[in-house]
Chain A
Amino acid sequence: MGLMSRSAAGIYAARLQRGMATRWREWGELAIQGLLLFAAMVSVFTTLGIVAVLVIEAVPFFQQVSLIEFLTDPQWTPLFAQKHFGILPLVAGTFLTSAVALALAMPVGLLSAIYLSEYAPARVRAILKPALEVLAGIPTVVYGYFALLFVTPLLKRVIPDLETFNALSAGLTMGIMIIPLISSLSEDALYAVPGSLREAAYALGATRLEVALRVVIPAALSGIVASFILAASRAIGETMIVAIAAGQRPILTLDPRRAIETMTAYIVQVSLGDTPHGTLEFRTIFAVGLVLFLLTLVFNLIALRIIERYREVYR
C-alpha cells in the first residue's frame, strides 16, 4: 500500500517536470514573442529615426535663419540670389489646397456616409462601400495627372483666368481622393450608433431624415469630426497631386485660381533638384518637413482624442 502510493506520487512528480518537448515549446513561444515585438518596434524606431533626422538637420538651419524670420517673413526664396526664408507662402499654399479639398470632401463624404448607413438597402451598401474604398486605392500620381490634364481644362472653360497650375484644380482632385476616407470612417461611426436609438426615434413619429439628422448624426458626431480631422491631416500631407497640378510658385496668396506651392511640393522640388546636399538651401526641406510633421501630428492627436472620447459614449 505504502509502496504503491509512493510510486504513484513519483509518476505525478515526473509529469510535473518539464520534458524536452515542453522546453522546445517554451523556446518557440519566446522566439515568436520576440519576433512580434521586433515587428512592432520597427515602425516605432523608424518614426523616431525620421523625427531625429528632421531635428538634427533642422538645427543647423535654425542656427543660420532665425525662427522669427522663418515664421513671419512673407517671402520664400531660398533657391534665388535674394534669399528669404519665410515659410508663410508654403503654409498658405498648403492651407489653400487643403481647404478646397475639405470643402468638397467633407459634405460629399458625409452625405454618402449618411446615404450608405441610413438609406441604402443592404444590397446597394454591399456594392457601393467597397467601390468607394477602391477610389482610395488609386495611386495619387494618377490623380495628379487627372487634375492637370482633365480637371484644369474643364475648369478653364468656366473660369477663364485660371492659371494652368492652380490650387483649385489640385484641391478639388485631392478632395475626390479624400471622399472615401471621410465616407468610410463616418459611415463606421454612423453604423455604430445602436439600432435601439433609431427605433426609439421612429416610435416617436420621426421620419427617416429626422432620425438621421437629429439622432444618428449627433450620436456619431465625434466619429464624424475625427474623420474630418484625419482627412485634413491627409490633405496637408498629400504630395503628388499638388506637386503635379498646383505649381511651384511660393507666393503668399489665398486666390485658388493661381499657381502656388505647398510645403510638400517644395520638398519634392528640392529633393529632386540639383541643390547640393549640406547647404543651407538643402536644409530648408528639413525645416519645412519638421513643420509639416508637427502639423499632421497635432491633427492626428486631436483626432485620436476625439475618437477615444466617442468610444465611451455607449458604455
Chain B
Amino acid sequence: MEEIVLETQNLTVYYNGRPAIEGISLRIPRRRITAIIGPSGCGKSTLLRCFNRMNDLIPSARVTGRVLFEGVDLYGPDVDVVEVRRRIGMVFQKPNPFPKSIYENVAFGPRIQGIRDRRRLDEIVERCLRAAALWDEVKDKLHQNALTLSGGQQQRLCIARALATEPEVLLMDEPASALDPIATMKIEDLMRELAREYTIVIVTHNMQQAARVSDYTAFMLAGEDRVGRLIEFGPTQQIFTRPRDRRTEDYITGRFG
C-alpha cells in the first residue's frame, strides 16, 4: 500500500464564477511520479496549481473542496502560503530563470529563507545543481547570467532552483514541452532519478512521456460543458493497457484530443 502525500477531496476551481475543474478527488503517492494527462484546456494546470496554492495569484480564481498535504488542508485558515510553496516546489512549462547568475538563481530560495552564510549557500548550490544533473556543465561559469544557457539547461536550472528550498513534492507543468527531444530525454531521466527522494506530479499532454516516466496516471477530460473532470486514475501500466473507461481508451489510442 502506497503512502499518500497529497490528496484532493471534491476539489472544484472556478474562474470568474464558472467552474474550470469540478469534483476532483485524487490521491498522490509518496516518492512516485504521477502524471496528469488530458487534452488541452481540460484543467490540468488548474489542478496542479492547487497543490501549491498558485491559484491564489489569480484574482478571479476560487477554490472549494479540500487539498490535504500530509493530512493538513492547504486551504485551511492557519496555513502559511509561503511555507506551502517552499515545501511543494514548482517547475513551469517555459523555463523561467531569473536574469541573474546561475548561482543566484539556485541561491534565491535559501536567501529569502534568511541563509546568508556563503559556505552554506555554496554547498546548497552545488548539491542542487548536481541533483539536477547540471553541475558538470556549469561548474566553471556559476556567475554567468542564466539566460546564456540553452533551453534544456535553463529548465534543469529551474529544477535545481526548486530543489534548493528542500521541498518534498515537485510539481511540473509540461516541463519539457518547450524543449528538443534530447533535452526532453535528459529531463525525463532526471525525473526518474529525483523520484527516489521526491514526490513528483507532472502535467503533460504527451502520452508517450506519461507512459515512459510515470508510475501513476490521472486522466482528465472536459465534457460538453467545458468543465474538467477526473475520468480515471490508476497505475500507469493499467491506464495504458487496460483502461476501465471508454473515454480513457479513446484518448490514449488517439481517437480524440
Contact = CB atoms under 8 A, between A and B. Distances in A.
Interface of A: 121-122, 194, 196-197, 199-207, 210, 214-215, 218-219, 313-314
B94 interface: yes
Given A197-B96, A219-B99, A203 B89 contact: yes
Given A196-B92, A214-B108, A202 B85 contact: yes
Contacts of A210: 112
A215 B92 contact: no
B96 A199 contact: yes
A204 B98 CA distance: 12
Contact of A218 (B100, B158, B165): B100
Interface of B: 52, 54, 57, 59, 82-83, 85-86, 89-90, 92, 94, 96-100, 108-109, 111-113, 147, 158, 161-162, 165
A205 B86 contact: yes
Contacts of B92: 196, 199-200, 203
Contacts of A204: 85-86, 89, 108-109, 112, 161-162, 165
A203 B83 contact: no
Contacts of A215: 98
B248 to A, nearest CB: 30
30 contacts: A122-B59, A196-B92, A197-B98, A199-B54, A200-B158, A200-B161, A201-B98, A202-B54, A203-B52, A203-B54, A203-B85, A203-B89, A203-B90, A203-B92, A204-B85, A204-B86, A204-B89, A204-B108, A204-B109, A204-B112, A204-B162, A205-B82, A205-B85, A205-B109, A206-B82, A206-B108, A206-B112, A210-B112, A214-B111, A215-B98
A204 B86 CA distance: 6
Contact of A194 (B52, B83, B96, B108): B96
A205 B113 contact: yes
Contacts of B161: 200, 204
A223 B108 CA distance: 23
Contact of A202 (B57, B99, B113, B158): B57
A196 B108 contact: no
Contacts of B59: 121-122
B112 A203 contact: no
A107 to B, nearest CB: 24
10 interchain residue pairs of minimum CB distance: A205-B86, A196-B96, A203-B90, A205-B85, A204-B109, A205-B82, A200-B96, A210-B112, A206-B112, A219-B99
Contacts of B85: 202-205
A207 B158 CA distance: 19
Contact of A203 (B94, B99, B162): B162
Contacts of A200: 92, 96-98, 158, 161
Nearest to A213: B112
A46 B9 CA distance: 72
Given A199-B57, A207-B82, 11 more contacts: A121-B59, A199-B96, A201-B98, A202-B54, A203-B52, A203-B54, A203-B89, A204-B85, A204-B89, A204-B161, A219-B99
A202 B161 CA distance: 12
B227 to A, nearest CB: 25
A267 to B, nearest CB: 43
A239 to B, nearest CB: 39
B114 to A, nearest CB: 11
Contacts of A207: 82, 112
A225 to B, nearest CB: 15
A197 B96 CA distance: 6
A265 to B, nearest CB: 43
A121 B60 CA distance: 12
A194 B92 CA distance: 13
A219 B89 contact: no
Contacts of B57: 199, 202
A121 B83 CA distance: 25
B176 to A, nearest CB: 16
Contact of B99 (A122, A201, A206, A313): A313
Nearest to A196: B96
A205 B165 contact: yes
A276 B96 CA distance: 66
Contact of B98 (A121, A202, A219): A219
Nearest to B87: A205
A300 to B, nearest CB: 26
Nearest to B95: A196
Contacts of B100: 218
A268 to B, nearest CB: 45
Nearest to A210: B112
A201 B112 CA distance: 10
A214 B112 contact: yes
